[in-house]
Amino acid sequence: MATNSYNSAKKQILILIGSIYIGELLIMVAFAVLPKLPEWIETIVDPTILSIFCAPILYLNVFRPTTRRISQLSIAKNQLRTTAAAFETYDAIMITDAEANIIRVNRAFERTTGFKEEEVIGKTSHILKSELHDQAFYTKMMGDLLTKNVWSGEVWDKHKDGSVHPKLVTISAIKNAASKTTQYVSIFTDISDRKKAEKEIHNLAFYDTLTGLPNRRLLRDRLEVALTSSARSHQYGALLFLDLDNFKTLNDSLGHEYGDMLLVEVANRIKFSLREADTVARLGGDEFVILVEKIGTNSERASQRVALLAEKIRTILTEPYQLKESLRHSSPSIGICMFCDQDELVDELLKRADMAMYQAKSSGRNKTCFFDPRMQQLTEKRAALESDLRIALTEGQLRLHYQIQLDQERIPIGAEALVRWIHPQHGMVPPSDFIPVAEESSLIVEIGDWVLDNACRQIAEWRYNEQTRNLVLAVNISAQQFTQPDFVEKITALLKKYSIEASRLKLELTESVVVNDLKSVVAKMNVLRDTLGVTLSLDDFGTGYSSLSYLKQLPLDQIKIDQSFVRDMTTDASDAMMVKNIIDMAHNFGLNVIAEGVETEDQLALLKKNGCKSYQGYLFSKPIPIEQFEIFLTESQLPFRIE
Ligand code: C2E
Ligand code: MG
Ligand code: MG
């Protein structure tokens, strides 16, 4: 700052000295060119003195104003340069006259709108207008400009290529001295990217990334609105809670990629079955919830409509799924909860629909079930059972009971190990009560491990007794347990741990194992049977799919005829025929057959007649604890085979 004023003073002094010299020069020239000038002037006015007098006049009137003008001009030029640079900013700028005719635009305008300067000059700013705003929007904008001289907000404008983009716009009205608007300056930026990012964030928060369906959060919001609207309109609505049967097994056996493909296809099929106004959300895993609204004011008819819809969805979801090269089957269990008119809570409704879904699952899966208040008690009981079962495992409340298996000479050939739960309050809980609960959670794997370990230890102990050393012990394996990736390793480790012969261990698999990828099931069974030497039996035969095509492919040793056929075979001709057919078919496949649930001598005789050579049932013994089982073996005086 100080240097600047010093420089400027120096400049002024130099100009003053310069003025003296130039003044003197001018006077001398005047004397030379004007010879008629009176001599006295020449004598009295020395050119040097005169020039000293003239110099300030010259300086003040000619040189100083000129230099000032020059410096003002250069300041103005600088300012112009600055303005021009500022005009060419990142933001687009458009200047119009009071009638919206475009006067000037910058390069950012060209980039943002796609229009060149020469294409828009003289045209009105309406060339940027999209159809997305109504007249009221523009009226409000003009109103603000009139009263506040400025308007700021989001505008959807049209690009030259016809696409519509969101912009953040600020318009300022420029007024003259008479307060009349002469120009409008619009400054704007394209915020498409920001909008896209905002949308992505919104999608992440409200939509499921795999299926693109609304997530739990968005469902809750919509349900909240639906409840209010239903209370106002007295129209019924419904929540359908849908869970895929055996999805976990498919996911574990085929891998997550296939699991994901199935979920996406399920989502698409459900969407396809619904009206535009209905919502289908994915809560996570294989759980979907459908919100159906405005289904009438008559309770019965509304329920009927929902039941029909649920049936439609159930049917469409049971159609086969082409997942890459493999054709899969799946089915849903659907729970329905209706709502209308009442002050329901979102969580309560979801809980009820969930309970109804569990009811559908426990009544055999691939079913639809409406919520019934009695269900609530059942569900609470089930939840308590599950938490008690966790404790049972850690507190050692599980036991194994053994049920003898015999051949046609009533010689014991083995036993089936059946798990029992000795509950500290409720006493003995049968497996039919807690195995399904364990299967719903992953507790079945832990229980299964416990059973296998104890069964193998028992086989090891039986080695030292000639009555028991040749017995084969059968262990029930649930589908979830079998599909564990380390199942074969677990069996191998147990055989080694107890140093037992693999052929003394029989695994009873059910047909639900085959729901999974047949190829990998067969491969696993081959390792178990051929490499390790474990015996494989198919339990409850006749109650599931019982398809000949897979039966042919499975490396089995035995088929176990389900007790439901055995029970009625002496009284019901079709059951008798069924039993005979199963036995014949098994023999054709080179498999041996065991009948379970043999209670009478008549049943035993008929089974023998039909060629079944192994039996298990109350006729011989109920499942009993090991001590009783061993006493039974010695005291029942059953013959035993010594090999
Ligand atoms: P399951 O494997 O079919 O077992 C045979 C069931 O029939 C047993 O019921 C047995 O007590 C019963 N039973 C045997 N003989 C007769 C008879 O003559 N008449 C009648 N009415 N019933 C007879 P339990 O012990 O209640 O087991 C039921 C089911 O629980 C088993 O059916 C099996 O699926 C499952 N289970 C039992 N233990 C285990 C286990 O350790 N692991 C797994 N995954 N499931 C098990
Ligand atoms: Mg069994
Ligand atoms: Mg069975």
Domain assignments of the chain as residue spans, ordered by start: 37-87, 92-196, 210-371, 398-635
Question: What CA–CA distance (Å, rounded) separates 518 from 463?
Answer: 36
Neighbours of ion ligand 2 (CB under 5 A): 476, 508, 539
**Count of Cβ atoms closer than 10 Å to residue 376 Cβ:** 13
Closest among 159, 153, 158 to 137, alpha carbons compared: 153
- Closest residue by CA, ligand 1 atom 12: 597
Atom of ligand 1 nearest to the CA of 598: 18
Size of the chain in residues = 643
Ligand 2 centroid vs 558 CA: distance in angstroms?
Answer: 12
- Selected from 3.30.390.30, 3.30.70.270, 3.40.470.10, 3.40.190.10, the CATH number assigned to the domain covering 210-371 reads 3.30.70.270
- Closest residue by CA, ligand 1 atom 15: 617
**What tokens appear for 427 in the block?**
């006493």
**Count of Cβ atoms closer than 10 Å to residue 383 Cβ:** 12
The per-residue pLDDT for 1 is 43
Of residues 253 and 613, more confidently modeled:
613
The per-residue pLDDT for 27 is 63
Ligand nearest to the CA of 600: 1
Band the pLDDT of 2: cuts 50, 70, 90.
Answer: very low
Ligand 2 centroid vs 611 CA: distance in angstroms?
Answer: 21
**388-434, pLDDT tens digit by residue?**
999 999 999 999 999 999 999 999 999 999 999 999 998 999 999 89
Question: What CA–CA distance (Å, rounded) separates 548 from 121?
Answer: 82
Ligand nearest to the CA of 604: 1
Lowest mean pLDDT among 165-179, 269-283, 339-353, 553-567: 339-353
Question: CB of 356 within 8 A of CB of 371?
Answer: yes
Instruction: Please state whether 593 falls in left (phi above 0), alpha (psi between -120 and 50) or beta.
Output: beta
Question: CB of 505 within 8 A of CB of 455?
Answer: yes
Of residues 246 and 488, more confidently modeled:
488
Closest among 361, 475, 370 to 416, alpha carbons compared: 475
User: Residues of the chain with pLDDT > 70: what percent?
Assistant: 86
Question: What CA–CA distance (Å, rounded) separates 643 from 639?
Answer: 13
As for ligand 1, residues whose beta carbon falls within 6 Å of it are 403, 418-419, 430-432, 435, 448, 451, 476, 478, 508, 539-540, 563, 596-599, 616-618, 623
- Closest residue by CA, ligand 1 atom 3: 540
Question: What CA–CA distance (Å, rounded) separates 220 from 300?
Answer: 26
Lowest mean pLDDT among 25-34, 158-167, 387-396: 25-34
Torsion of CA 472, 473, 476, 477, to 10 degrees: -80
Q: HEC profile for 33-81? A: HCCCCCHHHHHHCCHHHHHHHHHHHHHHHHHHHHHHHHHHHHHHHHHHH
Q: Read off the pTM.
A: 0.56
The per-residue pLDDT for 249 is 81
End-to-end CA distance of the chain: 117
Question: What CA–CA distance (Å, rounded) separates 129 from 133?
Answer: 9
Homologous superfamily of domain range 398-635: EAL domain (3.20.20.450)
**311-326, pLDDT tens digit by residue?**
999 999 999 999 888 8
CA-based angle 536:542:545, to the nearest 5?
Answer: 90
The per-residue pLDDT for 635 is 81
- Closest residue by CA, ligand 1 atom 37: 418
**Count of Cβ atoms closer than 10 Å to residue 333 Cβ:** 24
- Closest residue by CA, ligand 1 atom 20: 597
The per-residue pLDDT for 372 is 81
Question: CB of 318 within 8 A of CB of 366?
Answer: yes
Residue to substitute in 418, 421, 622 for testing ligand 1 pocket (most ligand atoms within 8 angstroms of CB): 418
Ligand nearest to the CA of 434: 1
Angle, nearest 10°, between helix axes 346-362 and 373-395? 70
92-196, which class in CATH? alpha beta
Q: Which residues contact 138 (CB under 8 A, 6 or more apart)?
A: none
Question: What CA–CA distance (Å, rounded) separates 87 from 559?
Answer: 88
User: Three-state DSSP class for 268?
Assistant: helix
Lowest mean pLDDT among 53-67, 352-366, 496-510: 53-67
